[in-house]
Amino acid sequence: MDRKVEEEEEAEPMIQEMDELGLGESITDEEYLACLGNLPHGPPRPDTKTKLQGEQLHDLYIRHTVYRLKYYKKSIS
């Protein structure tokens, strides 16, 4: 028997039990559409107008340097 089929058969009683308790994955079409309507319509767009300044930029440079050193140490070992 296919492993996926076995897993589905094993999960079926658990899904039924969760449905009976009101915790399952079965929802009405209306509930599904309501949840779908709450999701964003596309991926968030990056904010390219915000620029780091002063302390934030310094912290970024430090973090970048640390990661470069970690990479270098890992690459030579």
Which residue in 5, 7, 24 sits closest to 16, CA to CA? 24
- In tens, the pLDDT along 13-29 reads 888 887 787 776 677 88
Segments making up each domain of the chain, as ranges: 3-40+51-76
Residue 1 clears pLDDT 90, i.e. is over it: no
- pLDDT over 70 for what percent of the chain? 96
Q: Which amino acid is at 5?
A: V
Q: Distances from the Cα of 67 to the Cαs of 23, 31, 61, in angstroms? A: 44, 45, 10
Tokens, residue 25? 């994955």
Instruction: Say what the pTM is.
Output: 0.37
Q: Which of 26, 2, 27 is nearest to 12 (CA)?
A: 26
For the segment 16-69, what is each residue's pLDDT rounded down to a tens digit? 887 787 776 677 888 888 888 888 888 888 888 888 899 999 999 999 999 999
Q: What pLDDT was estimated at residue 58? A: 94
